[in-house]
Structure 1
Amino acid sequence: MRRRLLPAALLLPLALLVSACGGNSAASTSSGGGTDGKGSLTLNVGDQKGGSEAVLRAAGELDDLDYRIKWSTFSSGPPLLEAVNAKAVDIGGVGNTPPVFAAGAGSKITVVAAWHGTSQGEAVLVPNGSKLTKPEQLKGKSVAVAQGSSAHFQLIASLKEAGLTLGDIKVKYLQPADALAAFTSGKVDAWAVWDPYTSQILNGKQGRVLTTGDGVVNGLSFQVAAPGALADQDKSAAIKDYLDRLRRAQDWVYDHPEEWAKVWAKDTGLPYEVALASVKQTNASRVPVAVDEPLIKSEQEIADAFTALKLIPDKVDFSKYVDDRFNGDLPPSTTAPRLYKES
């Protein structure tokens, strides 16, 4: 069967879903989800569609909870962290960039857990007919990217590797749905984006990879908690249990990529082929790692880059926004991702 790309109009809900990687988002609404577990303690968890709740449920990790989890679903990472700052949410999952922007705004947030995955899904794409074959050739070309997103930093880092800066290209700040339309209509020369968009373009045979973030960006994702929840002994214990379940669920994803892709596709509206490609390339690769000094240094580099661009007003000390109490015997944050191998 011919694989088909979703029309741009249908991608708007997906854009809101995967803009978890973004530092800016016009979408700031949240809606209450269901409640799992039993007991007198309730852990308020912020989530995104197709995120933690879906993977925990698919992996059977929401069974036998001796506390309640009340889910709130957010359209992206920034409003989720706004809710953490407002004490409406105790903990929630985001990509590597929203915590930097939240820290830049002086928000009361604390990174308590991390996962390290590949950055193959973070890519600069070019149309199939493009004459561009290496990043150095982007000089003077137009590149679409979501401002303040993980792809934004990946673009900055990839240009630096090629001896270029943002000033050497024509940056078009576009959210994914608009960027897709510009890319497929030839209005931009390249598009810096993340999975599942990368997998969607490749599976739809609409373009090819010019360069990826592998070896250029940190490939980290986080669980971020409210300091008040961490100061509560009972909630802190529930957070530890919740993180243990998430880590086991990630192991399940690695061992059951097809099963998870079916769940993810149904939850997000992605075509199954795209979901499976994204799972194998990106999602299944994630390894639970420690919140440690190399992680802080890596996030500090992101913060400094955006401060230099004046997208963050003042210098951020990222070390003030982490807590390593849940590290246990986890490997360092520099641990290599698990590359999925076909059976």
Structure 2
Amino acid sequence: MRRHSLPLLATLIPLSLALSACGGSSAADSGTAATAGSGAKVTLSIGDQKGGNESLLKAAGELENLDYTIKWSTFTSGPPLLEAVNAKAVDIGGVGNTPPVFAAAAKSKITVVAATHGSSAGEAILVPKGSALQSGADLRGKKIAVAQGSSAHFQLIASLEQAGLKPTDVTINFLQPADALAAFNSGSVDAWAVWDPYTSQVLRTGARVLTSGEGLVNGLGFQVAAPAALEDAAKSKAIDDYLKRLQRAQDWVFKHPEEWAKVWAKETGLPYEVALDAVKRSNGTRVPVAVDDAAVVSEQKIADTFTELKLIPGKVVFKDFVDTRFNGNLPPSTTAPRSYGKDS
């Protein structure tokens, strides 16, 4: 295996390598290349995030018996990954529900080809131990950290709206996770809108959830491909196989949460207990689903919200960035996430 390293963001915790449920702009992290199968003629370039799909597929035994080559490139979050997709440097990669909206608004050449639906419990607005804040309405006049363009950004907007507040009723500090954590710990901000596994890690320090994304955000994650890769018959076939392997691997995660948490902890530097919390709260609850009309409508709502707030230019028609050829017999995007019951 060959590995090419690009500069990492300065980190306060290993979690600043943002995982796939999130977004927010930050620099590319690293790249890896893995060869599978002798005589492979097709190379599929896949964008990943630390402890992401490469680790998942390897842990689930789904990187065996490939008839194509995979070249992995690692990014710190969704937006730079989608920039690489737009530039044809990456054929496909996984991101959360908001980066595709920002990429579409930027007229990027991207196509959403697959989806998962998971619990939104890991999407949360957190407050420090001892905070006097008790509800979303208490955020009026407060300082809140969030990564711009991330899934947490939309969750924050939705939570404020639910509480009868507008973004102008609070002070929003756009900070990437490492800086947000520092601000949160120092008291420079009153709350932090973030995603798992950050949520799980910070909760272990005594912080608590003020509001969560449950019932507010769609819980969708996407695989996003380069149109040029989809137009290549051989690459399109490889993408189809890759997506099926991801589906099986996600099934494996739900059935083996402890085993996956150990792998995830090793790959990311998370404490095992935090990794297991995040698996049971969100990561392991994901169900492979179809990119259907309901998913498009839900994403369109996100796009319209950011357009109204003038955070993206112009109108985004999300359905124009969707290809349903890989839906197969997958269940609807509204299918309930998996649950570990009282352990989740």
| Common fold: TM-score over 0.5 | yes
Instruction: Measure the CA separation in 2 of the matches of 1:113 and 1:261.
Output: 24
Q: How does 1:1-343 map to 2 (within 5 A)?
A: 10-11=11-12, 13-18=14-19, 21-25=22-26, 27-28=27-28, 30-38=30-38, 39-205=40-206, 207-341=207-341, 342=343
How far the C-alpha of 1:10 sits from its partner, in A, is 4.6
The Cα shift of 1:11 comes to: 3.0
Question: What per-residue deviation string (whole Å, max 9, x for no partner) do you get for residues 89-112 of structure 1?
Answer: 111111111111111111111000
Q: Greater CA deviation, 72-81 or 91-100? A: 72-81
For the residue of structure 2 that corresponds to 1:180, the secondary structure is helix
Task: State which drifts further: 110-119 or 169-178.
Answer: 169-178
The Cα of 1:127 is off from its aligned counterpart by: 1.4
Deviation of 1:171 after TM superposition, in Å, equals 1.4
SS at match of 1:17: coil
Give the Cα–Cα distance (whole angstroms) in 1 for the partners of residues 308 and 193 of structure 2. 20
Question: What SS does structure 2 have at the residue aligned with 1:119?
Answer: coil
What one-letter code is carried by the residue in structure 2 that aligns with 1:35? Answer: T
Q: Quote the residue 1:6 is aligned against.
A: none
CA RMSD in angstroms comes to 1.6
Cα deviation digits, residues 299-321 of structure 1 (max 9, x gap): 11111122222221121111100
- Contact 1:20/1:94, CA 8 A, preserved across alignment: yes
Cα shift at 1:12: 5.4
What code does the residue aligned with 2:153 have?
H
Mapped partners of 1:259, 1:29: distance in 2: 26
Are the equivalent residues in 2 in contact too, given 1:37–1:69 (CA < 8 A)?
no
State the secondary structure of the residue aligned to 1:222: strand
C-alpha deviation, 1:80, in angstroms: 1.3
Instruction: Say if 1:17 and 1:75, in contact at 8 Å, map to a contact too.
Output: yes
The CA distance in 1 between the partners of 2:197 and 2:29, in whole Å, is 22
Question: Given that residues 35 and 71 in structure 1 are in contact (C-alpha distance below 8 angstroms), is that contact kept between their aligned partners in structure 2?
Answer: no
TM-score (norm 1): 0.93
What CA distance in whole angstroms lies between the structure 1 residues aligned with 2:259 and 2:13?
Answer: 25
Q: Distance in 2 between matches of 1:19 and 1:288?
A: 14
Deviation, 1:30, is 4.3
| Amino acid in the other structure paired with 1:302 | I
Secondary structure of the residue aligned to 2:17 is helix
Q: What residue identity is the alignment partner of 1:114?
A: A
Q: Counterparts of 1:217 and 1:132 in 2: how far apart (Å)?
A: 22
Q: For structure 2, list consecutive stretches of 5 or more residues without a partner in the other structure.
A: 1-9
* Runs of 4 or more consecutive aligned structure 1 residues displaced over 6 Å after TM superposition: none
CA distance in structure 2 between the aligned counterparts of 1:146 and 1:136, rounded to whole angstroms = 21
Partners of 1:258 and 1:276 within 8 A in 2: yes
Cα drift, residue 15 of structure 1 = 1.6
8 Å Cα contact 2:127/2:209 also seen in 1:
yes
Distance in 2, matches of 1:153 and 1:249, equals: 28
Letter in 2 for 1:301: K
Work out whether residues 25 and 148 of structure 2, in 8 Å CA contact, stay in contact via their aligned partners in 1.
yes
The question of whether the paired residues in 2 share the 8 Å contact of 1:36 and 1:70 is answered with no
Q: Offset of 1:139 from its aligned partner? A: 1.1
Give, in whole Å, the separation in 1 of the partners of 2:53 and 2:28: 19
